[in-house]
Chains A and B, each alone.
Chain A
Amino acid sequence: MIEPLKHLANTPVKPETLELKFSDIAPPLTERQAALESARCLYCYDAPCVNACPSDIDIPEFIRQIAQDNVNGAAKTIWSENILGGSCARVCPTEILCEQSCVRNKTDECAPVLIGQLQRYATDNADKSAHPFARAESTGKRITIVGAGPAGLSCAHRLAMLGHDVVIHEAQAKSGGLNEYGIASYKMTDDFAQKEVEFLLGIGGIEIVYNSALGREISLSALQSEFDAVFLAIGLGSTRTLALGHEEAPGVMTAVDYIRELRQSDDLTALPVPENAIVIGAGNTAIDMAVQIKRLGAEQVYLVYRRGEEAMSATDHEQALARDEGVQIRTWARPAEIELDNEGKVAGMRFVRTAEDGGKLVDTDRSFSLKAEAIFKAIGQTLVSDELDPAIELSGGKLLVDESLHTTLTGVYAGGDCTGIGQNLTVEAVQQGKKAAESIHQDLMAAGDK
């Protein structure tokens, strides 16, 4: 039940239409398409695509393996650097990563190789009946991870592979993190997040304790004393507020909460959908929210951002997706007032026109209102650090880590969105998890040598 919207009617869209609108947004390549596309790869040396990939996948190698009819080998090449290669293939903004730097992205080459789609082809079609990686001999070390999102899972897999035993504490009832709860539904269909976790756990040596959160069921100090190392992959647990009056009024909620409900819903027809919706924000979550609520049947969806399009963190590809869906993108407008009807429910929002003055965002004297029964806030998430140790320093509101993912507290490592490195991409979280595992391994083994 979505409490803040319970006064709204359910989606007016027919179930069969919904099924279509929430099916795979980028259908997988067929064998023929994969053969044609893989043959376009020039097998570059010191390839720009690899340098652009946060997770170091040897892209020319796996594409060549696909071209040579070795899909299992291709998948292993991917997984050896990125065990969540299947979800990254679906959610990575390849247009600003590998595919942007593909040498065939140059004008005379027509188009970049569809690297993301080929990665999906390999990981989807590889034989997963036996886990492709074996564990090293047991080190006898036990490591705990807080958070079973991409960073935590990646770290767990690499640690297990290196011979350590891992216990993951996950606050939610399911693992996968944003892959399970956050990404737009049509980007991750057929329960893929769970299937991928199941595959990942196939290596063995990883235990996941669900509904186990810091400050509730567990504490950092207890974990530190029980385990040889702790990896924090807690993500960003809180969302920013608009700091306006009536933010608790029926009709106002965070995009993250709505998307979580949507992702967990077995029956999309039961979701409350406003006729008119406003999404505040400029990132991929804002786009995911706007597009999904439109597909669910909202007549008019506005995505409002206080700066210009060029400053939006959502990629051009994502913005185009929203426009194609009919989402109205309004820029240079700052939320000023949540407008209520006489029953105290959201009726719209008033915005003040903004402008840039010497690099600073300033209000103008113009304003406008948009009618809406629901306002979705997608203005960013913040770290909840209350339950951590004060010895763990923060930087910019996130956990401060060094290149090897050490926090400032010995024996405690961190990765993923809770740290300040990168752009909060899934693929970066996976990479940080993997790197942290290598750091932990190195530190523990070095300590053992003494």
Chain B
Amino acid sequence: MADLSIEFAGIKAPNPFWLASAPPTDKQYNVERAFEAGWGGVVWKTLGEDPAAVNVSSRYSASYDAHGDVVGFNNIELITDRPLEVNLREIEETKRNWPDRALIVSLMVPCEEDAWKRIVKQVEQTGADGLELNFGCPHGMPERGMGAAVGQVPEYVEMVTRWCKQYSSLPVMVKMTPNVTDVRHPARAAFRGGADAVSLINTVNSITGLDLDRMVARPIVGSQSTHGGMCGPAVKPIALNMLAEIARDPETAGKRLCGIGGISNWRDAAEFIALGAGSVQVCTAAMLHGFRIVEGMKDGLSRWMDEKGYARIEDFRGLAVPNTTDWKYLDINYKSIAQIDQDKCINCGRCHIACEDTSHQAINKLLQADGSNIYTVNDDECVGCNLCEITCPVDQCITMVPQETGLPYMNWTQDPRNPYREA
């Protein structure tokens, strides 16, 4: 069996599956249930200065797919609404009860040195393993100059990180907001400030939908709404990209990264790890299904690792990073063509109409004597865009087959058709 245990920025955990700072980690009761279920660590829901935050009623909303499953989850909750002293006491007790699990504490106080100094010292006394600086919360808190309001200004990120490293001996992880144009800048700033790791992404500014009768967005508070932070499967592609951007940025390459964003199963986790994450954080999937999901995540990941011959997480961590590059370095001479397995085809015609209406007219519809249609690829017109493979409802019915062109690797910087080519 593969060894799932990790050491991440000096923090040890029996597995890389941590619960993100969120409602599931707000109280000792929940966190201990999570540990009982087998989670490798938690990031305790963000602590702030007293008096504690006050939350509104009606806090979440979601967007759904055609089958009614949640694809995006949105919240307008603030940081913990319990007194600091209660949280600190519970953190201490929980860590004492579960010494082998990672217990990291998320923090958010005003951008004042004293405030940060005070709180990091208080947390250090609980025996917690590390700190996560919440520079990502996109709703409510930025209006008070905290959360994403800090994360969007690299200078603030660097400054606050430096304070925390100065006043605390604990590992410091900085949580990135995706609500920026280029995530590399705040990430660089965090590491300049001495961060041991960055975690990403926090939630994406969002409105999930509207009540068209009442003409108000969701979640509805009385007769109003506000934008929230979206998480869940829909944000995974955004998170993976931002993770890859930091992982392959020469200024931050090799730094510790914690992956967050729509991770719902072992495969999602493996993808984040392959793009450089040393641990992953989960929230939405647990909020929708309970803590029990971690069992399948651990089992699935370790079976897959066994199959692939990876003994430890580190064995495959970051393996996909070198293969993630700029568009200009892609091989212009690579060619693939769609191939339809007629035995698997159920004749739904989706590939044909998608290609015919919106792409390259490369899938023929051939009327048969019995009135049915069969669908075939016109190789000469197919550009290998993958659209037919994507819209096909049958697994492995349409495959994109690499073609032997006999041509060598050539990227756009070398292409004679590029007037600005480098050589």
Contact = CB atoms under 8 A, between A and B. Distances in A.
B67 to A, nearest CB: 5
Contact of A35 (B68, B347, B352, B365): B68
Interface in B368-411: 371-373, 393-394
Contacts of A35: 68
Contacts of B349: 44-47
Which residue among A42, A45, A48, A103 has the maximum number of chain B CB atoms within 10 Å of its CB? A45
Contacts of B373: 46
A111 to B, nearest CB: 13
B67 A45 contact: no
Interface in A13-55: 35-36, 39, 42-48, 51
A103 B346 contact: yes
A65 to B, nearest CB: 13
Contacts of A43: 350
Given A39-B68, A46-B365, A51-B371, A106 B353 contact: no
A108 B372 CA distance: 19
B86 interface: no
Contacts of A36: 67-68
Given A48-B372, A51-B371, A108-B394, A42 B348 contact: yes
A308 to B, nearest CB: 25
Contacts of B56: none
A104 interface: yes
B66 interface: yes
A67 interface: yes
A109 interface: yes
Contacts of A109: 346
Interface residues of A, number: 17
A124 B67 CA distance: 23
Contacts of A104: 346
Nearest to B356: A45
Contact of A42 (B68, B350, B352): B350
A18 B372 CA distance: 45
A39 B64 CA distance: 12
Contacts of A103: 346-348
A44 B349 CA distance: 6
Interface in B322-356: 344, 346-350, 352-353
Interface string B214-251: 00000000000000000000000000000000000000
Contacts of A45: 348-350, 352-353
B347 A39 contact: no
Interface in A92-110: 103-104, 106, 108-109
Contacts of B66: 39, 67
Contacts of B350: 42-45
A207 to B, nearest CB: 40
Contacts of B347: 44, 48, 103
Which residue among B67, B348, B372, B393 has the maximum number of chain A CB atoms within 10 Å of its CB? B348
A101 to B, nearest CB: 8
B33 to A, nearest CB: 31
A167 B163 CA distance: 91
A448 to B, nearest CB: 37
A103 B346 CA distance: 5
A386 B372 CA distance: 42
A103 B347 CA distance: 7
A67 B67 CA distance: 9
Interface string A102-135: 0110101100000000000000000000000000
B68 A44 contact: no
A156 B68 CA distance: 42
A193 B266 CA distance: 55
A104 B347 CA distance: 10
Contacts of B372: 48, 51
A43 B354 CA distance: 12
Nearest to A47: B349
Nearest to B392: A42
A109 B397 CA distance: 13
B212 to A, nearest CB: 11
A443 B35 CA distance: 80
Interface in B188-215: none
Nearest to A44: B348
A39 B349 CA distance: 17
Interface in A289-344: none
Nearest to B66: A39
Contacts of A47: 348-349
B188 to A, nearest CB: 45
A44 B394 CA distance: 13
Contacts of A108: 344, 346, 394
Contacts of A106: 346
A39 B393 contact: no
A26 B372 CA distance: 30
Given A48-B372, A108-B346, 14 more contacts: A36-B67, A36-B68, A39-B66, A42-B350, A43-B350, A44-B347, A45-B352, A46-B365, A46-B373, A47-B348, A51-B371, A67-B66, A103-B346, A106-B346
25 contacts: A35-B68, A36-B67, A36-B68, A39-B68, A42-B393, A44-B348, A44-B350, A45-B348, A45-B349, A45-B350, A45-B352, A46-B349, A46-B352, A46-B365, A46-B373, A47-B348, A48-B347, A48-B372, A51-B371, A51-B372, A103-B346, A103-B347, A104-B346, A106-B346, A109-B346
6 nearest A-B pairs in the assembled complex, by CB-CB distance: A45-B349, A45-B353, A103-B346, A44-B348, A39-B66, A103-B348
